[in-house]
């Protein structure tokens, strides 16, 4: 019987927000030997942080980069499925321990879920096997942002299939919607249990959608607009959110440094306040394909680019196979209505081994293959560290997590 349980569960509240997504209860699962999180049969599962009795109210939030499987990754999942479909769990297993330990874990699903039976495709228009959704659940993810430049690769039907698959797997989602009603209903994620639980709003937006908005369905995908994001964050706060997290699909591809649009919008969003309290508590960036800096801006952590957790084939620019997971420990305020502050900020380097089709931790101490492999691993790790710390995050307390 699995000892780990899903620690962050979705809860729904009355409608005030125009962007959050529908969340579904977890389903029972049993995967012998898999290091990810196993879901309870009922809602209301709790994490060890915010729900801990007698201790400080805290919770850990972990976020990872884009899930962007091309045809080579899809073929690897078919091989791992052994003729019985597509199994993405072995691919993600290297990330599972850190993901499953978090009270709340967020991923970025960059692609569209395809029809059962295929065809499944890589770029330029992605269609991913539906089995990926269950693999995200089993790895331990509680919610995924679905706003990207591929959200409308297959139009409204692609949005519907993607969100249906996540719903069946019990993974919450934000950034796209199947109806105006769904787009107008806020979803809050729960980290903890009972009165001690923290309510976390997860909002998501993209610079582009990969296709035109379906006629009469401008709500199908959430597009970046500074005023809209601030309004949604304030509405989420009024709906009861203790912490507001915003995922942004933004920036210039293949650039190690954030561009002016990213840094400018980051400053504007983190400067937005209602009274003495910031409207947004954390910004998580994707799209650039390479890890970019973490930076504390106006007292709020901004991750400009997490990179791609699942990337492409070995022939592509290998920088696309480096990414990070951001782990943030939030601490409850001394007085109600004040800000939940990040007491600890960490980054965890990841590497997608395209040849093996596996997410791995680039730790030189565990590298197989002798000194040459260890040296290569150190090179990968050090390059990630340089990018992440390039804007002075180390001076603000960011550390490499274990």
DSSP conformation letters of 161-183: HHHHHHHHHT-EEESB-SSHHHH
Q: How many CA atoms lie within 13 A of 203 on its CB side?
A: 33
70-95 mean pLDDT: 96
What DSSP line would sit under 185-254, residue for residue? S-EEEEESSGGGPEEEEEEEEES--SSPPPTT-TTSBPBP-HHHHHHHHHHHHHTT-SEEEEEEE-S-TT
pTM of the model: 0.88
pLDDT of residue 252 exceeding 50: yes
Band of pLDDT at residue 376, cut at 50, 70 and 90: confident
Q: Looking at the DSSP assignment, which residues form a beta bridge with residue 352?
A: 359
31-45, 96-110, 259-273: lowest mean pLDDT where? 31-45
Tens digit of each residue's pLDDT (9 = 90 or more) over 15-27 = 334 333 333 333 3
What pLDDT, on the 0 to 100 scale, is given for residue 316? 63
Confidence of residue 50 (pLDDT cuts 50, 70, 90): very low
pLDDT at 53 over 60: no
Non-local CB neighbours of 96 within 8 Å, separated by 6+ positions: 34, 35, 36, 37, 138, 139, 140
Query: Would you place residue 12 in the very low, low, confident or very high pLDDT band (cuts 50, 70, 90)?
Result: very low
Collapsed DSSP state (helix, strand, coil) of residue 127: strand
Contact 112, 17 (CB under 8 A): no
Alpha-carbon gap, residue 331 to 186, rounded angstroms: 24
The single residue listed with the structure tokens 């997504």 is 21
Judge if the upstream peptide bond of residue 39 is cis by omega within 30 degrees of 0. no
Task: Sketch out the chain's domains with CATH numbers.
Answer: 11-400 (3.60.21)
CA distance 264 to 357: 36
- Average pLDDT over the chain reads 86
Share of the chain above pLDDT 70, in %: 83
Does residue 28 surpass a pLDDT of 70? no
Name the token pair of 36. 């990810």
pLDDT (0 to 100) of residue 51: 40
Per-residue pLDDT band at 186 (split at 50, 70, 90): low
Lowest mean pLDDT among 35-44, 69-78, 79-88, 320-329: 35-44
Mean pLDDT of 279-301: 97
Tokens 């150190």 correspond to 378
Give the residue, 78 or 3, on which the prediction is more confident.
Answer: 78
CA–chain centroid gap for 162, Å, is 15
Q: Are 19 and 234 in contact (CB under 8 A)?
A: no
Half-sphere exposure of 274 toward its Cβ, with a 13 Å CA cutoff? Answer: 16
Partners of 359 in the β-ladder: 352
Q: What is the mean pLDDT of residues 247-254?
A: 96
């Amino acid at each position: 019987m699995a000892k780990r349980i899903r620690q962050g569960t979705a809860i729904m509240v009355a409608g005030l927000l125009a962007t959050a997504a529908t969340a579904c209860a977890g389903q029972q699962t049993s995967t012998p030997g898999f290091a990810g999180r196993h879901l309870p049969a009922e809602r209301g599962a709790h994490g060890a942080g915010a729900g801990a009795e007698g201790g400080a109210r805290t919770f850990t939030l972990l976020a990872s980069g884009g899930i962007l499987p091309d045809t080579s990754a899809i073929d690897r999942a078919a091989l791992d499925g052994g003729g019985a479909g597509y199994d993405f769990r072995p691919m993600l297993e290297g990330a599972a321990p850190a993901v499953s330990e978090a009270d709340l874990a967020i991923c970025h699903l960059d692609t569209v879920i395809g029809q059962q039976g295929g065809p499944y495709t890589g770029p330029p228009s992605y269609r991913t096997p539906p089995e990926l959704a269950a693999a995200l659940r089993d790895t331990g993810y509680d919610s995924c942002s679905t706003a990207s430049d591929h959200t409308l690769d297959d139009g409204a039907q692609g949005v519907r299939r993607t969100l249906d698959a996540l719903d069946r797997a019990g993974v919450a989602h934000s950034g796209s919607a199947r109806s105006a009603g769904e787009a107008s209903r806020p979803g809050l994620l729960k980290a903890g249990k009972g009165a001690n639980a923290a309510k976390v709003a997860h909002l998501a937006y993209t610079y582009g959608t990969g296709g035109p908005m379906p006629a009469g369905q401008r709500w199908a995908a959430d597009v970046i607009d500074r005023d809209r994001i601030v309004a949604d964050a304030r509405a989420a706060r009024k709906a009861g959110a203790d912490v507001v997290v915003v995922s942004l699909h933004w920036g210039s591809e293949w650039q190690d440094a954030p561009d002016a649009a990213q840094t400018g919008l980051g400053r504007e969003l983190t400067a937005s306040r209602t009274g003495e309290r910031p409207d947004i508590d954390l910004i998580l960036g994707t799209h650039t394909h390479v890890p970019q800096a973490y930076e504390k801006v106006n007292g709020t952590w901004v991750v400009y680019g997490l990179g791609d957790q699942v990337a492409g084939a070995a022939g592509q620019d290998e920088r696309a196979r480096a990414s990070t997971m951001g782990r943030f420990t939030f601490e409850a305020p001394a007085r109600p209505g004040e800000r939940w502050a990040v007491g600890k900020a960490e980054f965890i380097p990841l590497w997608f081994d395209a040849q093996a089709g596996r997410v791995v931790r680039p730790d030189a101490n565990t590298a197989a293959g002798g000194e040459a492999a260890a040296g290569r691993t150190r090179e990968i790790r050090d390059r990630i560290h340089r990018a992440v710390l390039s804007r002075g995050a180390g001076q603000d307390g960011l550390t490499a997590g274990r």
